[in-house]
Amino acid sequence: MNFNPLSDTHIKNLRAMVAEDRFSTGESVLELHAKDESHHRPCRPESGIWPVTRDEVARVVKYANDNRLPVTGWGSGSSLEGNPIPVQQGLVLDFTRMNRIVDIRTGDFQADVEPGLVYQDLNEKLRHTGLFFPPDPGARATLGGMIANNASGTRTIYYGSTKDYVLRLSVVLANGEIIELGTRASKTSSGYDLIRLFVGSEGTLGIVVEATVRLAGLPAEFSAAVATFASVEDAGKAVFEIMRNGLHPAALELLGPECVELMNREENLTLAIAPTLFMEFHGSTTGQLAEVLEMAAEICNSLGCRRFEPGVGRAERDRIFKARHALGEMIIRNHPDSNVLVMDVAVPITAYSPLIAAIRGELAGTGLVSYYISHAGNGNVHLNIVGKKGDTRQWELINGIVQRLVTRSLELGGTATGEHGIGLGKRKFMIAEHGSSLQWMKRVKSLFDPNGILNPGKIFP
């Protein structure tokens, strides 16, 4: 695709489409939108725009399309695969100021939201209704970003991913047209499901300007437990057995000892430094949960669990999950001279142990510093690998390891990304994962965005 540079005329015209203070080509603005939380190389856009209405978005996108200017949506920049880095420059649409909760309908378990809303802020607002929006990627992600990446997190094993919570979407297409998709009914068989085509499309097919999301009831009761193991392998076996026995954990997280050590240090926790399973169960009675916890203890103990600590209280649970969610940033902070590559793969649960073995095999003898973090109940593994900035040889080693581990995950029936999206880093695996259906994804892209102005350079190799 050939794009045009942002001329003075373009700047004048775009500036006139929004209020004076919501368009900028200032250095700090461009720098702010040049990178996400990933290790990928930054790239500055040519301007930043903060729309506040869908009509503004439509006008700007139409103008960009007519003038072949790249447009990239921006939430909070918390993504981990370079998804919003404007590699072709152009305009960044920053949704920070388009962040209203338009409506909450508690009786229907639904909320209408704007894309710039941060999900924690939605949940804070919902706190007194007994409802919540379950997907929890951890970082202060926006609803728009979560929809773009089909975000998920620690609770996905029980509550599902973002795609399971989107009932309606208002989308601005590349030509500036605004379309409405979906229904407020809790189920439908009416026409093609275009909603789920946009969810997870990383802003390459259209730009979400409003969404109706489904809410869930806060669990009446919860219980949590921490189990430590001699090895990640043993912990992995426990994960498989907990899932196979249908215990329905609301979270089942596996962390390597290096993560636990870091969390203890940074968040003043006193966890045993060992491969550790955090598990949580949601239910309507304490009796039910006590029974489930007992079964989990039995499973863990039969697999050589060193210590099973049940009855973790809500405050302690919150502290652990806060630390868990902060892990990514802690790792970066603790290696100031390095970049951190966050590998994200997912495999069927029977392939979870083989994947651990492959990771162990790849890391053995390399001397690399890495952190094993896993939404284990989903077979979703993150390996955060630390590489010295500018150390070409080390980065070649790291990239080779990631290449082989992603390929291994695909061989095991898995996916190149469980939740971070394709962005920049996983484009090279698209052919291996999707084969000839990739061509159909490209055709769908061309149908909705014939000039390729929407988040160019992403998803497709």
Which of the residues 369 through 388 are near a copy of itself (CB under 8 A)? 378-380
- Which of 144-152, 222-230, 265-273, 327-335 is the region at the interface with a copy of itself (rule: CB under 8 A)? 144-152
Residue numbers 49-78 binding a copy of itself by CB under 8 A = none
Sign of CA dihedral 400, 401, 406, 412: positive
Sign of CA dihedral 74, 76, 77, 81: negative
Residue 142, interface with a copy of itself (CB under 8 A)? no
Kindly tell me which of 95 and 352 has the beta carbon lying closer to a copy of itself.
Answer: 352
Do 271 and 189 touch, CB atoms closer than 8 A?
no
| Dist. CA 263–CA 119, nearest whole Å | 24
Q: How far is the CB of 438 from a copy of itself (least distance, A)?
A: 7
| Dist. CA 103–CA 112, nearest whole Å | 5
Q: How many residues bind a copy of itself (CB under 8 A)?
A: 87
Tell how many helices (H) and how many strands (E) occur in the chain: 15, 18
Residue 217, interface with a copy of itself (CB under 8 A)? yes
Select the residue interacting with a copy of itself from 101, 363, 397, 438 (CB under 8 A). 438
- Which of 46-54, 111-119, 254-262, 406-414 is the region at the interface with a copy of itself (rule: CB under 8 A)? 406-414
Select the residue interacting with a copy of itself from 287, 313, 390, 450 (CB under 8 A). 287
Site string for a copy of itself, 151-190 (x = CB under 8 A): xx---xx---x-xx--------x---x-xxx-xxxxxxxx
Residue 191, interface with a copy of itself (CB under 8 A)? yes
| Dist. CA 87–CA 458, nearest whole Å | 9
Kindly tell me which of 150 and 228 has the beta carbon lying closer to a copy of itself.
Answer: 150
Select the residue interacting with a copy of itself from 26, 41, 103, 105 (CB under 8 A). 105
Residue 448, interface with a copy of itself (CB under 8 A)? yes
Select the residue interacting with a copy of itself from 68, 196, 306, 325 (CB under 8 A). 196
Residue 288, interface with a copy of itself (CB under 8 A)? yes
Closest CA relative to residue 349, chosen from 420, 429, 294, 413: 413
Kindly tell me which of 52 and 213 has the beta carbon lying closer to a copy of itself.
Answer: 213
Orientation angle between helical segments 352-363 and 392-411, nearest 10 degrees: 160
Residue 225, interface with a copy of itself (CB under 8 A)? no
Residue numbers 111-130 binding a copy of itself by CB under 8 A = 130
Residue 110, interface with a copy of itself (CB under 8 A)? yes
Orientation angle between helical segments 257-267 and 314-333, nearest 10 degrees: 100
Residue numbers 267-286 binding a copy of itself by CB under 8 A = 283-285
| Dist. CA 255–CA 328, nearest whole Å | 12
Q: How far is the CB of 329 from a copy of itself (least distance, A)?
A: 21
Residue 200, interface with a copy of itself (CB under 8 A)? yes
Residue numbers 416-435 binding a copy of itself by CB under 8 A = 416-422, 426, 430, 433-435
Residue 193, interface with a copy of itself (CB under 8 A)? yes
Reading the block at residue 382, the tokens are: 């993150």
Q: How far is the CB of 170 from a copy of itself (least distance, A)?
A: 10
Site string for a copy of itself, 333-372 (x = CB under 8 A): -------------xxxxx----------------------
| Dist. CA 201–CA 262, nearest whole Å | 34
Kindly tell me which of 7 and 285 has the beta carbon lying closer to a copy of itself.
Answer: 285
Kindly tell me which of 189 and 392 has the beta carbon lying closer to a copy of itself.
Answer: 189
Kindly tell me which of 89 and 156 has the beta carbon lying closer to a copy of itself.
Answer: 156
| Dist. CA 352–CA 459, nearest whole Å | 26
Q: How far is the CB of 94 from a copy of itself (least distance, A)?
A: 22
| Dist. CA 320–CA 237, nearest whole Å | 22
Do 58 and 176 touch, CB atoms closer than 8 A?
yes
